[in-house]
Structure 1
Amino acid sequence: MGSVQDAPRLIVATPDELKAGTYDSGNIQAALEALHQDGFAVLKGVVDVAHVEHLNEYMSKEADELVRNNSKPFNQGVNSNILQAPPLNDPAFQYNDVFFNSFVIQVMNAYLGYKPIHNFITGNNALPHTAGLRQPVHKDIIFYHPQCPFYVIANIPLCDFSKTNGATEFWLGSHAHTTGHEQVLATPDSTLTNGRLRVGEPTCNVLDDVIEQRRAIRPPIQPICQKGDIMLRDLRTWHAGMPNESDQYRIMLALGYQAQWYPNHTLRSKLPLSQGNFFMKHAGQPVEVRADLLPDDSDFGKLNDIFSFRQTSK
């Protein structure tokens, strides 16, 4: 493939679309083509940069404490990356264009079906000065998953992403024909920091020979994104956290959207009761919020680290 085809598809809203908060049919078609063919799309400039910078300032200070106290397990077993959820208790950080972005929800309604379910919220922090440390190529799926769109992650960069600061590696198009049979199977000795593996079922990691076969067809990329962008990733798409050689945290939020037909009835975000009105009103967008509203002094960072995308009924 040529270089243009191997680049991520960028969905650029017109001034009129930005004002209306919705895409016209041309951009919806472009986003759907990107997700169906690549398993990935970048929505350009759909979040207020001031909102992103406010979140990044808070979460960077919080990360100093998390790292100093060694209070977060490393993600995917590599000492370069931690899960870090956004602040949920403070109304000052409750931005509709972050948590209930109208462009994201419009695309999710088109890709997953009417009124997708928002039931997952966390974040991902590539720690500074981690040159040479990268995650294995993997999917965030530890079961035999459907061969069609059933779940999408919206990643919101809180800073500009580059190869230097650890922009995530994505394998475009890898979602289209992948199954659990191309993943390393769990043994009694297999472990996963934030999930429960079942012996004989897939771990997250993709088999080495399968990776090399895919590399010959379409090698991976590291999308360069700016503050204000949102990356959409079909959950089946292969990816890997990359080294952050800079001296700053590289943080992105992760919000999950599930198709209504997919039978996972137990995955729920953990949210503070005092902020229930904001989250459950979901900015009037066509999305169903599934969440447990818990006492405000709950440890939401740790509670939202525990999740399973596995179906809960047949």
Structure 2
Amino acid sequence: MDAPRAIGLTPNERTAKSYDPQNLQAALEGLHQDGLLVLKNVVDVAHIDKLREAMSAETKTILNERAGLFNQGVNSNILQCPPLANGECLFDDVYFNPYVIQIANAYLGSKPIWAFTTGNNALTGTAGMRQPVHKDITFHHPTAPFYFIANIVLSDFSIDNGATEFWLGSHAHTTSADQVPCTEETRVRKQVVGIDPSCNVKPEVVEQRRMIRPPIQASCRKGDIMIRDLRTWHAGMPNTSDQDRIMVAIGYQAPWYQAYTQKLFLPLKHASFFGKHGNQPVEVRANYLADEELGQMWKNYDFTFEPSVPVDRTLIAKL
């Protein structure tokens, strides 16, 4: 059965908080070949439970305040940020996981940039609701690794509770030409209608890929982290269980990639935690908010990964 590469920890690696060369190679091979990777048992489960407790308590409030603002327009899934202002929920193995950052340095380039965080909640009791196959990209993206997302799962993921559908290998065999062009209804920011892409992959391209390598739903356990190359096709799936399925998302950008405006919004009162970087080789690109400004934390939902340098659309038209 097809599945992403899963990397387990040896006792020596756990002590050193670093993968040995053999496991690092396996991780890089998995990302380059599949666009998805599972790191096994790299987060303290007690930390996971604390995050889940806090985020579950916020879900109803978010649904009331953001009625109708569902992820990808499907009423089964919402964006939900981790509790960044709650000092009791700030853990190095979540926000500065050494194994994730080691892989980011190897896959994206030395000292990658953390400039994005959010979360994803597949709501309970949403049988029959799924997202279209898409990429989280609404611009003409590079065809080399330039960004990846580390998803910290807050429960075991299974088909029953809406484990995400992934199209393994799609990241290495896709360009923005494979995406449905944006329309007046789907355009964002300064997109050009009919030329720039929407998130969704063209149905005919999806069916062509299905004949080569059909999709899978990646299962994993609480304490695992899934790493996804941003270019990898995926889709949120129905959650038929009686519990919400939540994961935290942390995005790492290649240091060479020319995106300068995307920044985290973090609480100033915890700047010392984020400023220490967990003693890891990573840059934190953020705006810090005073207590009276914490209402602006919603800006973490308003993210874009697009480059700051304008794209030459005359070249894109030749794709």
Shorter-chain TM-score tier: over 0.9
The aligned residue for residue 74 of structure 1 is 70
Task: Note closer, same or farther for the CA distance 1:124–1:301 as it changes in structure 2 (3 Å cut).
Answer: farther
Tell me which amino acid in the other structure corresponds to 1:313. V
Distance 2:203 2:299 in 1: 33
Q: Could you say what secondary structure the match of 1:251 adopts?
A: strand
Tell me which amino acid in the other structure corresponds to 1:94. L
Tell me which amino acid in the other structure corresponds to 2:222. K
The aligned residue for residue 168 of structure 2 is 172
Asked whether 1:105 is paired with 2:94, we answer no
Asked whether 1:216 is paired with 2:226, we answer no
How many Å apart are 1:67 and its aligned residue? 2.3
Q: Could you say what secondary structure the match of 1:304 adopts?
A: helix
The aligned residue for residue 89 of structure 2 is 93
Say what the alpha-carbon RMSD is for the aligned residues. 1.3
Asked whether 1:183 is paired with 2:149, we answer no
How many Å apart are 1:189 and its aligned residue? 2.8
Distance 1:179 1:270 in 2: 30
Identity fraction in percent: 59
2:295 pairs with 295, 299, 305, which one? 299
Instruction: Tell me if structure 2 keeps the 8 A contact 1:169–1:222.
Output: yes
Which region of structure 1 is more displaced relative to structure 2, 180-189 or 115-124?
A: 180-189
The aligned residue for residue 239 of structure 1 is 234
Instruction: Tell me if structure 2 keeps the 8 A contact 1:89–1:296.
Output: no
Instruction: Tell me if structure 1 keeps the 8 A contact 2:266–2:297.
Output: no
1:137 pairs with 123, 129, 133, which one? 133
Asked whether 1:286 is paired with 2:262, we answer no
Decide which structure has greater helix share: 2
Instruction: Tell me if structure 1 keeps the 8 A contact 2:265–2:297.
Output: no
The aligned residue for residue 273 of structure 1 is 268
How many Å apart are 1:190 and its aligned residue? 2.3
Which region of structure 1 is more displaced relative to structure 2, 295-304 or 14-23?
A: 295-304
What is the TM-score normalised by the length of structure 2?
0.94
What is the TM-score normalised by the length of structure 1?
0.95
Distance 1:282 1:71 in 2: 35
Instruction: Tell me if structure 2 keeps the 8 A contact 1:72–1:82.
Output: no
Task: Note closer, same or farther for the CA distance 1:224–1:300 as it changes in structure 2 (3 Å cut).
Answer: farther
Pairing 1:201-212 to 2, within 5 Å after superposition: 201-212=196-207
Q: Which runs of 4+ in 1 moved over 3 A?
A: 68-72, 195-198
The aligned residue for residue 14 of structure 1 is 10
User: How many residues end up aligned between the 2 structures?
Assistant: 308
The aligned residue for residue 57 of structure 1 is 53
Distance 2:61 2:213 in 1: 40
Task: Note closer, same or farther for the CA distance 1:146–1:70 as it changes in structure 2 (3 Å cut).
Answer: closer
How many Å apart are 1:98 and its aligned residue? 0.3
How many Å apart are 1:27 and its aligned residue? 0.5
Q: Deviations over 1:183-232 (max 9, x none)?
A: 0001223256xx77541200000000000000010000111111100000
Q: Could you say what secondary structure the match of 1:110 adopts?
A: helix
Which region of structure 1 is more displaced relative to structure 2, 60-69 or 110-119?
A: 60-69
The aligned residue for residue 47 of structure 1 is 43
Distance 2:307 2:211 in 1: 33
The aligned residue for residue 150 of structure 1 is 146
- The runs of 5 or more residues in structure 2 that have no matched partner are 311-319
Tell me which amino acid in the other structure corresponds to 2:155. C
Distance 2:272 2:256 in 1: 26
